[in-house]
Amino acid sequence: MHTTTIIRAELGGNTCTAMGITATGCAPIPATCRALLAAGIDPSWPLLVFRDGILALRVRSIGEGARLRVHGDGHGFAIAPAETRPAAPLVRQSPPMDAVAWLAKLRRRQRQRRLHHQKCAAAARERKRLRKQRGLL
């Protein structure tokens, strides 16, 4: 089952706030979409914009909203050309890790999992022993 998270934004004057991110300007909604993308939010998530508690605008996806720019004559919007479209990173950004550190981290995780499974198995054996001792088995 596929579920989509809907982002709620509040619009006030030339300011738009969503998920703790605030953007201001002559087009605060597209600016908010761009800021959300820069924060690593999924570009497919829709944005519902409310003004004074009333739904004012629905953006199909913040990816689409981020591509919008104010039209040259100041009325309406235009879609940004392909070369200037902002894009969210495809993968989580993390510092590069050398192979030795990666292998050590992998072994540490494996050891933690193994210990966890051993503890769970020991607890299950103890529960079974107690049930047997009480005559429940």
Q: Which of 7, 14, 49 is nearest to 28 (CA)?
A: 14
Of 22-36, 64-78, 111-125, least confident by mean pLDDT is 64-78
Which of helix, strand or coil describes residue 127? helix
pTM given for the model: 0.55
Which of helix, strand or coil describes residue 15? strand
Name the DSSP class of 80.
P
* Band of pLDDT at residue 103, cut at 50, 70 and 90: confident
What pLDDT score does 114 carry?
94
d(CA 119, CA 98) in angstroms, rounded, equals 32
* Band of pLDDT at residue 13, cut at 50, 70 and 90: confident
